Structure 1
Amino acid sequence: MRLLVVEDNAELVAMLRRLLEQSGFAMDHAGGVEDALLMLRTGDYAAIVLDLGLPDDSGLSVVRELRARGDGTPVIALTARGAVTDRVAGLAAGADDYLTKPFAPEELVARLQALLRRAGAIVDRVLQCGNVRFDPATRDVEIAGAATLLSARELELLDLLVRRHGRVVPKPTVESQLFGIDDDLGSNAVEVYVHRLRRRLASAGATAEIVTVRGVGYMLTARGA
């Protein structure tokens, strides 16, 4: 799952990138409100970690714009100001949770996981399509009862498809979840990873297959379903 971190402190951004990647998340970064709003208009994120004290405007303006257009993406607000009035203002603007700096890294991860679980982006049960089983908590994959190793992006793609198996996932959604804003993408980057995962599934004897819905996107379905 891809997160957007909106923060202007380079040292904190570097720490958050290490922390989130170690916890199985992918991360894009914006250093201010203007960049954040542009990225949110063009990308799809599972959650946002948002500093409220940004150089060009208050982070609350990001939350207000999201909520005004009906976007319910979970937001954790970060701030160095811990007064009750500041926390109330953040929550009233539409933030889902609030963390005062400095904070324990493991607490941020726990709060993110709780928010995503509440939003339905993380489920505790093992997901299955055909004989392909995926555990969202451990990131373990089994095909026909055998443990199967996938690359990080193959895992992200399987995660995205198996959560929505039987439904079409639009290609722009696949692209935004697999690749960061700074990735140098070829014109067929998504197709390359879809092809690789298809080949992995087939070689392991999977009864689930990735179907291309031309002009729309991709769908994971059990063969014969």
Structure 2
Amino acid sequence: MIPAIHASGLVKCFGDHQRALDEVSLQVESGEVLVVMGPSGSGKSTLIRTFNGLESLDEGRLEVLGIPLNADHDERQIRRIRKRVGMVFQQFNLFPHLSILDNITLAPIRVQRRPRKEAEARANDLLTQMGIAEQAGKYPGQLSGGQQQRVAIARALALQPEIMLFDEPTSALDPERVKEVLDAMRSLANNGMTMVVVTHEIDFAREVADRVLFMDEGKVVETSSPDEFFANAREERSRRFLNQVM
């Protein structure tokens, strides 16, 4: 079976040749939940953004769902990948002038050319799945941060992706809103969605991740099961990080 994501020797430089990614290699299997952790500036967000072409590569080889994406940054390949990969960011990026329902149906109608009735039915199903069905007619500014992030997840799911990428999806939320977003993500994982999640949420990683990948200074320091990583991390750098966050 083709892995969902296969990366070999990824290099990404910013500024004075500082390597945000320094020979990163990894593989994510279909149906797997990979949690990516590490200190600020370790390359986590840069890595996950390469998986749908938001960041270009300087070196290395990347295949997402069997579609190659290399340093040439082929826009045709990126479009193919983005049709099959959803992403949720730190900020919600909802259109403030559109209703919640219209935010979710915009891409299915315009990009996938689905009939409005079909797109709206799926959007309502997704809002129900996210626990916010009653918010369909409201506007983003009328919702809490946690509700807006669940709308952002529903919007990504509306395109029926095969992989979901999450870039610190709870970092902009008030503490009391974090749980509702993590619960929605747990539900996705329990239903078999392939997920790569950049997060500092330790309990979520313990419970939901199949593997934890720890990064520092653009490198993969170690990859292991949650039980092994949190109880007995192999590398000293990993242990120092865990001593600070746990």
TM-score relative to the length of structure 2:
0.30
Q: Which has the higher contact order (CA 8 A, sep 6+)?
A: 2
TM-score relative to the length of structure 1:
0.32
